Amino acid sequence: MEEKIARELICDTGRELLKTGLVARTWGNVSCRLDKSSFLITPSGLDYLKTMPEDIVYVDLSTMEWEGKHKPSSEKGVHAAAYELFDDAGFVIHTHQNCASAIGLAGFDSMDITSAEREALGGVAKAEYGLPGMKKLKNAVKSAMQTGAHTVFMVNHGVVVCGSDKKQAMERVQLLEDICRRNLHLGNAAPKRLSEKKATELISAVRQEIPTAELSGGDAAVMWSGKRKTLHAQLDDMAQMLGSHVPCVRASAKKAVKALSARDAVFVQGVGAIVKADDPDDREALKLLTEKSALCALHTEAMGAKVKLGAVDTALMRFVYKKKYSKRKG
């Protein structure tokens, strides 16, 4: 593959993934094989809309040394595993897509999937948990791929999908999300929303105290809020951005403000979640994250699975995220 074309393909893919909602913000990453011994990958933490061909990073497969203006994605090891194992892998996509993340937490073994779909995905497997960017995660993904699977669920994290080219990899991530969506179990409680008038009053009262507060009122967030239960981090991105848990309070502005004084998100009964952040991009990310976290929590509960990230791992990820974040902002 010619390097110039590969760089452009990666940028196009990032933007397409954003458009389809399969990735958000700077989450996930994309790579393309150049030849037998090298590949190109998206840089770490750069917005897909701002990523230009010259921002893409070159990585040598045998030494893992890289060249570029930016650091490569911290998940480069996961991509490298795919290129090492599969001669037919030409393009690799890693996402934190909603429905597949939920199935990775519960229901993988009992998933309703036809053999034709399995084949279209190039085989499916599940990788054990490892902290993001760590060797353990790379090795776990590698052993899952050693079964021949080109589509791998990364437990508590997301998925990685290999294709012979961009087209096949994109088709696979989309097909995977469709299959996982029909395998979601959200319980049978329909979202019970507060009347629009009451919800608006509540949000404005919260905004009086916290002007950067915003509503995340998707169906999953509203359904979860009806349970009046604390949501514990099940996925790495939630642990990073929201910490170990998000509490749930009654529909009271006072209670919501109190909860938000100690954290960036709270579930509020009948309303969904209320998030706060100074940066509008961060607010958007928190809204997506609270909705995805609620979706996953509803699904695991309906499946009767107790899934919670370990306290030490969660604290570590939160710490690293905050440190990186303050550096970036600085």
Q: Is 304 exposed, middle or buried (0-12, 13-18, 19+ CB in 10 A)?
A: exposed
State the minimum distance, in angstroms, from the CB of residue 279 to Zn ion: 21
Nearer to Zn ion, 137 or 260 (CB): 137
Dihedral sign for Cα 121, 125, 131, 136, please. negative
Q: Which residues contact 192 (CB under 8 A, 6 or more apart)?
A: 222, 226, 270
Nearer to Zn ion, 236 or 301 (CB): 236
Nearer to Zn ion, 72 or 158 (CB): 158
State the minimum distance, in angstroms, from the CB of residue 237 to Zn ion: 7
Nearer to Zn ion, 93 or 286 (CB): 93
Nearer to Zn ion, 158 or 270 (CB): 158
State the minimum distance, in angstroms, from the CB of residue 187 to Zn ion: 27
**Applying CB under 5 A, which residues contact Zn ion?**
158
Dihedral sign for Cα 255, 260, 266, 270, please. positive
Nearer to Zn ion, 42 or 183 (CB): 42
State the minimum distance, in angstroms, from the CB of residue 146 to Zn ion: 21
Cβ atoms of residues 294 and 229 within 8 Å: no
State the minimum distance, in angstroms, from the CB of residue 28 to Zn ion: 6
**E strand or H helix that includes residue 67:** strand 66-67
Cβ atoms of residues 189 and 114 within 8 Å: no
Between CA 52 and CA 49 the distance in angstroms is 8
State the minimum distance, in angstroms, from the CB of residue 94 to Zn ion: 6
State the minimum distance, in angstroms, from the CB of residue 75 to Zn ion: 6
Closest chain position to Zn ion (CB): 158
Nearer to Zn ion, 104 or 158 (CB): 158
* 3 state SS for 222-240: HHHHHCCCCEECCCHHHHH
State the minimum distance, in angstroms, from the CB of residue 157 to Zn ion: 6
Between CA 315 and CA 294 the distance in angstroms is 20
Q: Phi-psi bin for 304: left (phi > 0), alpha (psi -120 to 50), beta? A: left
Q: Where are the alpha helices (DSSP H) in 210-279?
A: 219-226, 236-242, 253-260
Q: Which of 43, 111, 135 is nearest to 328 (CA)?
A: 43
Between CA 86 and CA 141 the distance in angstroms is 13
Nearer to Zn ion, 158 or 218 (CB): 158
